[in-house]
């Protein structure tokens, strides 16, 4: 396969590469432009696909998203991978209908990441994600297609784990589960195929 360009790779890449084609590779006609997610193979000019879906039809949008996420991933302030959901807390407000839920996430690096969901009387429910020790009241949801969005949409379980609310009263636990559901619905489906 002829290489048109390289988004990321240490030491460059050969102008032509070969790899073991998977069953889904048959859907690409000869000469079709594809985006290939691979790691170096055993020999020069060989690459190993990172998954069964690592061969994707090229599009300007897919290339732009791949470049943007790769840039974020390699940046000095890269968002850590989410490995689990930690404890959740729910605090009712002093006014009927007001409350706040905080959900702490566990990361591969141990760096703090948390979700907050705020209910205010007469306002739409809002949520955000904080990166750091301080839970930021001005936190906002991540933009779709960003590394942070992928980290959350693709790593978080569909429902809040029971262990996250084990220390909460029944009504507070139910409210925290509802707020977590709201976050997951707002994030939408991961859609990642790799």
**Under a CB-based contact definition with an 8 Å cutoff, are residues 142 and 149 in contact?**
yes
Q: Per-residue pLDDT for 187 more than 90?
A: yes
CA atoms within 13 A on the CB side of 136: 11
Question: How many CB atoms within 10 Å of residue 22?
Answer: 13
pLDDT at 156: 96
pLDDT at 192: 67
Q: Which two tokens stand for residue 97?
A: 């209908």
Contact residues for 188 (Cβ-Cβ < 8 A; gap 6+) = 144, 153
Beta strands (DSSP E) in 20-125 are 34-36, 38-40, 47-49, 55-57, 82-92, 99-107, 113-119
Q: What is the pLDDT of residues 129-161, one digit of tens each?
A: 999 887 767 789 999 989 999 999 999 999 999
What do you get for the CA distance between the two ends of the chain, in Å? Answer: 20
- Confidence band for 118, pLDDT divided at 50, 70 and 90: very high
Q: Which two tokens stand for residue 162?
A: 């029971």
């Amino acid at each position: 396969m002829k290489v048109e360009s390289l988004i990321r790779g240490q030491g460059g890449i050969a102008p032509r590469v070969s790899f073991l084609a998977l069953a889904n590779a048959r859907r690409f006609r000869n000469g079709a432009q594809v985006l290939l997610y691979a790691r170096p193979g055993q020999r020069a000019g060989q690459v190993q696909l990172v998954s069964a879906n690592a061969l994707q039809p090229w599009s300007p949008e897919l290339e732009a998203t791949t470049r943007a996420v790769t840039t974020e991933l390699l940046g000095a302030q890269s968002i850590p991978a989410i490995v689990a959901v930690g404890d959740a807390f729910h605090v009712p407000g002093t006014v009927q209908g007001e409350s706040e839920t905080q959900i702490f996430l566990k990361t591969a690096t141990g760096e703090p990441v948390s979700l907050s969901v705020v209910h205010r009387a007469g306002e739409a429910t809002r949520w955000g994600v904080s990166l750091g020790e301080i839970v930021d009241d001005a936190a906002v949801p991540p933009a779709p297609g960003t590394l942070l969005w992928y980290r959350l949409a693709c790593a978080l379980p569909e429902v809040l784990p029971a262990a996250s609310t084990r220390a909460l009263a029944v009504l507070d636990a139910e409210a925290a589960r509802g707020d977590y559901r709201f976050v997951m619905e707002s994030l939408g489906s991961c859609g990642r195929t790799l």
